[in-house]
Amino acid sequence: MHNFNSGPSILPQEVLAQTANAVIDFNNIGLSILEIGHRTNWFVDVMEEARALVKELMQLNEHYEVLFLHGGATTQFMQVPMNLLDNNATAAYCDNGVWGSKAIKEASVFGHVNVVASSKDKNYTYLNKNFTVPQDCTYLHLTSNNTVEGTQWHQFPTTNTPIVADMSSDIFSREINFNLFSLIYAGAQKNMGAAGVTLVVINKNILPKTNRNIPAIMNYQNHIDAGSLLNTPPVFAVYVTLLTLRWIKKEGGLAIMQKRAEQKSSLLYQTIDELPIFHCPIQKEDRSNMNAVFYMQDENLQNLFLNVCKENGMIGVKGYRTMGGLRISMYNALPLESVVAITDLMKDFANKN
């Protein structure tokens, strides 16, 4: 099987094996990872190692705290403005696709939103990078990689305004200066683990930012004070994340992840561009190294192509339901061999059709 799912997505084989063992017997203690108490030393050690590995891999300075929370990135669409945006204050947002648009909608509940950049005019096939952030904005929010539309920020805006980034689909895939961001959040189910836990990285200097009476469970400071143990965390998902972070470090860290991502995406985009039967409408400089979105010149051939993919053990190739077309996701755990396999299949299909 070649797993091109966009999320939940492929995990490293050794992580799957280690996880399977831990479900039966975690660290030879006679209990499953599903059974241990979240305040036992067994799990506290898991949580602390996972938080430490995040800081190490992202090379975060002493001002940052690492949280593992419930609710997915979608909850962060609401939790970010709840903690950072006063009722009469304004936040700047980039509208570069489905997830940015949803984040804008949620932020509007808590304060004013200034959409400083949008690529909606061309159906989100590019990133509008020619914009300035007004000085009265509390923060700038962007989605670093647009899973649905297939675009990715390869260079981030330069601004004195604190930057908040949804990095759900490209976290830990490349070397960047993470200390440029005041808050980063990411669902685990693409590059760093199993569905059910969300990573939140916060520069403590950005808190507190509002006078709002925030429910205890939604207050970032409460989670920081409790070391991500304010309530029962998603124990299993945190453990899978720990194993995945260990794997990333063992493989060579973010430099190696970036090199592999560029190698895989280059091969795929080159194949798409060379075969007239396919076309990718995404502006080349904004194409994602994680999610390649493309189409067939003859839409009538699409179902035939998808059937051929299925027959050859290639899953997750169908595009997002609102976008149509095709999508191949190339997260960290996807081997180059899978991209070679599907590009060979694409060439063969083109020759026959």
What residues pair up with 166 in beta bridges, in sequence order? 143, 185
Residue 89 backbone dihedrals phi, psi, to 5 degrees: -90, 170
- Please, are residues 120 and 297 in contact by the beta-carbon 8 Å criterion? no
Indicate if the alpha-carbon torsion angle 227, 228, 231, 234 is positive or negative.
Answer: negative
Measuring CA to CA, which residue among 163, 74, 72 is closest to residue 117?
Answer: 163
The answer to whether 42 is a known catalytic residue is no
Q: What is the DSSP letter of 318?
A: B
- Please, are residues 162 and 183 in contact by the beta-carbon 8 Å criterion? yes
d(CA 165, CA 185): 7
Q: Which of 95, 153, 166, 264 is catalytic?
A: 166
- DSSP of 176-214, one letter per residue? --GGG-SEEEEESTTTTS-TT-EEEEEEGGG--------
The answer to whether 170 is a known catalytic residue is no
Q: Which of 95, 190, 247, 318 is catalytic?
A: 190
The answer to whether 190 is a known catalytic residue is yes
Rounded to an integer, what is the distance from CA 77 to the centroid of its chain?
Answer: 14
| Residue positions annotated with a catalytic role | 99, 166, 190
